[in-house]
Structures are given as C-alpha cells and as structure tokens.
C-alpha cells in the first residue's frame, strides 16, 4: 500500500504550541544520524521522560508551529525512529513540514482535530480519504488532502525514492 493510502490507528500524545526542533531532538544528539538512536531521545528537550512514555504506533498531536527552528532533519527522523505513526498539528513550521514529506513521515494539519483531542485518545487516520476519527468521542473530521505534487513524493516513500522513480 502506498504511504499516503495507509490507514493508521494509534494513541494520541498531546503537546502544546511552538514545539521547536531543539525540544524534539536537542542539538547535543546531532552527532548521530541513526533514526532509532535519535528516536531514543525524542522530545527530551521538552520532557526528559518523554522517550520512556512514547510507544510504537503513537500519534503526536501538537499545537501551532510544530517543528519550528533549526533545519535538522534529525527531528522528523527521530519521530520516525521512535515509531510514531503520524503527526497532527494545528500548523507546522515550513522546513519541518517539507522534511517530513521528504522522509515519508505522515503529517496532517488540522486545528479542529487538535482542539478535539485529549491525551491518550485513540485516533484512526485515513490518509487516502483525508479523515481522522476520534474513537473515544466517535467524532470524525475531514482534513485537507495533500497537494498532488506532495502526494507523489509521499506515495514514492520520500523525495529520494521519488527522484529515483523519475529516472
């Protein structure tokens, strides 16, 4: 199944506004580029206990301007490396947004979903249909689909695989 067609179900890990990339992966760890190693420090700059609480398949639900600050691709890689299935935020900082697309990390922008989600809620995300269902409340939201250009990158599994498929 293509990445953007995937069905994702996981528990929400709720964060606030302006979670910057120093919070996601502090600079001191940027001497590694192994996603699993980076993932073992995920969000340590925000909360030192976060890495011990995050579970494979969890969904990060954050507020405004998620991923602001540095261009470090270690941030989306750490999120992938920790096994996070998807990030939903009210808005994303632009470098994080493009890097997430480029490395094939599913992300969705939806202030409505963020407002209606509490810590631990079970969410079902249908990327192809563009819907997010909160299984605790039973409420379903439709989200803006990716523009075609980004969808092609995501479907290919990231930018490098997309470029290879164009050769």
Partner 1 sequence: MSATRKILTEHSGKQRLQPGDFIEVAVDLVLSNDVTAPIAIKEFERHGGEKVFDAGKVVIVLDHFTPNRDIASAQQCAMVRSFARRYGIKHFYDCGEVGIEHVLLPEEGLIEPASVVIGGDSHTCTYGALGAFATGVGSTDVAAAMATGKAWLRVPEAILVKVSGKFRRWASGKDLIIYLIGKIGVDGATYRSLEFTGEGLKGLSVEGRLTVANMVIEAGAKNGLFPVDILTVRYLALVGIEASELSIEPDEYGYSDEVDIDLGDVEPQVALPSLPSNAVAVGEAPDVRLDQVVIGSCTNGRMEDLRVAAQVLKGKKAAAGVRLIIIPGSPRVYRGAIKEGLFDVFLDAGAIISPPTCGPCLGGHMGVLAAGEKAISTTNRNFAGRMGHRESEVYLSNPAVAAASAVTGRITDPGEIV
| Residue placing its CB nearer to partner 1 in the complex, 137 or 165 | 165
Q: Which stretch binds partner 1 (CB under 8 A): 52-60, 80-88, 89-97, 125-133?
A: 89-97
Q: Which stretch binds partner 1 (CB under 8 A): 51-59, 112-120, 131-139, 156-164?
A: 156-164
| Other CB atoms within 10 Å distance of the CB of residue 146 | 20
Using an 8 Å Cβ cutoff, are 81 and 37 in contact? yes
Q: How far is the CB of 5 from partner 1 (least distance, A)?
A: 21
Widest distance between CA atoms in the chain: 46
Q: Is 95 near partner 1 (CB under 8 A)?
A: yes
Q: How far is the CB of 122 from partner 1 (least distance, A)?
A: 29
Using an 8 Å Cβ cutoff, are 61 and 88 in contact? yes
State both tokens at 50: 């976060």
Q: Is 69 near partner 1 (CB under 8 A)?
A: yes
Phi-psi region of 95 (alpha: psi -120 to 50; beta: other; left: phi over 0): alpha
* DSSP 3-state of 18: coil
Question: Which residues in this chain contact partner 1 in the complex, by CB under 8 A?
Answer: 18, 20, 22-23, 26-28, 30-33, 45-46, 48, 64-65, 68-74, 76-77, 91, 93-95, 98-99, 102-103, 147, 149-150, 158-160, 163-164
């Amino acid at each position: 199944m293509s990445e953007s067609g995937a069905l994702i179900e996981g528990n929400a890990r709720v964060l606030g506004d302006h979670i910057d990339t120093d919070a996601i992966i502090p600079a001191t760890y940027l001497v590694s580029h192994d996603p699993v190693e980076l993932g073992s420090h995920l969000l340590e700059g925000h909360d030192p206990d976060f890495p011990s609480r995050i579970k494979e398949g969890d969904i990060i639900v954050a507020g405004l301007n998620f991923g602001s600050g540095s261009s470090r691709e270690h941030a989306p890689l750490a999120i992938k490396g920790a096994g996070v299935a998807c990030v939903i935020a009210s808005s994303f900082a632009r470098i994080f947004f493009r890097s997430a697309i480029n490395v094939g990390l599913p992300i969705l922008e939806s202030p409505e979903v963020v407002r209606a989600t509490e810590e631990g809620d079970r969410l079902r995300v249908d990327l192809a249909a563009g819907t997010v269902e909160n299984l605790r409340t039973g409420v379903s939201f439709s989200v803006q689909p990716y523009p075609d250009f980004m969808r092609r990158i995501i479907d290919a599994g990231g930018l490098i695989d997309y470029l290879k498929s164009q050769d």
